[in-house]
Amino acid sequence: MQVIQHVAEMQAVAELLRARGKRIGVVPTMGYLHEGHLSLVRLARSHCDTVIATLFVNPTQFGPTEDFERYPRDLDRDLKLAAEAGADTLFCPDTKEMYPDGSATFVDVEGVSAVLEGKFRPTHFRGVTTVVAKILNTTKPHLAVFGQKDAQQAFLVTKMARELNFDVQILVGPTVREQDGLALSSRNVYLSADERLRATALFRALKHAEMLIARGERSAAHIRSQMLALLADAAPAKIDYVAFVRPASFQETELLEPPSVLIALAVWFGSTRLIDNMTIPIS
């Protein structure tokens, strides 16, 4: 696997690949790869001739009190895993390369970036859409793959790419879960053994909502109150939100209507904030 650290070199390699008629897939990550990321690399591989995985812990998407410094990092392990999953190139720039001194240009998708996650992490999505725009302009992909686990991010990146005329297809890969339902996340390593057990409440709450909806329940308030009770049993430190969203617009809704609803939640166990979501069909 080819490892590239500089923007200009990455652009030159991408240009060469394009000139040779190769279809390029990119999988942006912040590293500390797990099976969720690797499934996205495999998905990109199945649609493209060549896959670039990017690894950059992006400072602009972390708030001042968030975990940028302690975010887990293990480049050697990531190199091995990315290569095994089928990445041909790993683009891993440093901060100065992505944000040269004096950088003052940001990409902000107004509206949806301020709700749900955006309410609790006000500068987060501006950082995400900015770095994703830089990654797209650097790796020049035909296809970029993101995970459904970060549903709002996937929605915003898709909206940004469409509205800024990025010549790229955005594909969203399914959430990968542990056997007990916990969604894979690099941040799961922060959980103590006891918190890790209790954290399965996120998935159980989502499955409970799915069951209520299958039985005909259509009131978000009613479903939310049962989900909150189930989550409270797991003694979380805090529940930021349990939200019901129309997948097409990412607008919150209290009345569940066809064709589907996305239920998203953010819950703290100890000092670790976990998010999860599920899209549930409504008939």
What residues act catalytically? 37
Nearer to ligand PAF, 147 or 231 (CB): 147
Sequential DSSP letters for the chain: -EEE--HHHHHHHHHHHHHTTPPEEEEEE-SS--HHHHHHHHHHHHH-SEEEEEE---GGGS-TTSSTTTS---HHHHHHHHHHHT-SEEE---HHHHS-TT-------TTGGGSTHHHHSTTHHHHHHHHHHHHHHHH--SEEEEEGGGHHHHHHHHHHHHHTT-S-EEEEEPPPB-TTSPBP-GGGGGS-HHHHHHTTHHHHHHHHHHHHHHTT--BHHHHHHHHHHHHHHT--SEEEEEEEEETTTTEE-SB--SSEEEEEEEEEETTEEEEEEEEEE--
Q: How far is the CB of 98 from ligand PAF (least distance, A)?
A: 10
Q: Does 24 bind ligand PAF (CB under 6 A)?
A: no
Q: Which stretch binds ligand PAF (CB under 6 A): 25-33, 187-195, 209-217, 251-259?
A: 25-33
Instruction: Tell me: does residue 113 bind ligand PAF (CB under 6 A).
Output: no
Measured from the CB atom, the residue of 131 and 220 that comes closer to ligand PAF is 131
Q: Which one of 90, 109, 112, 128 is in contact with ligand PAF (CB under 6 A)?
A: 128
Residue with tokens 């166990």: 269
Nearer of residues 132 and 256 to ligand PAF, judged by Cβ? 132
Tell me how far, at minimum, the Cβ of 242 lies from ligand PAF, in Å: 22
| Least separation in angstroms between CB 16 and ligand PAF | 24
CB nearer to ligand PAF: give 143 or 209. Answer: 143
Min separation Cβ 30 and ligand PAF, Å: 4
Residue 109 within binding range of ligand PAF, rule CB under 6 A: no
Site string for ligand PAF, 192-231 (x = CB under 6 A): ----------------------------------------
Distance separating alpha carbons of residues 211 and 41, to the nearest angstrom: 32
Residue 29 binding ligand PAF, by CB under 6 A: yes
Block residue for tokens 């953010």: 266
Which of these ranges, 4-12, 22-30, 90-98, 265-273, lies near ligand PAF under the rule CB under 6 A? 22-30
Given 26, 30, 223, 263, the residue binding ligand PAF (CB under 6 A): 30
Binding track over 129-158 against ligand PAF, x by CB under 6 A: --xx-----------------x--x-----
Instruction: Measure the CA–CA gap between 259 and 231, rounded to whole angstroms.
Output: 27
Using CB under 6 A, list all residues that contact ligand PAF: 28-30, 58, 61, 128, 131-132, 150, 153
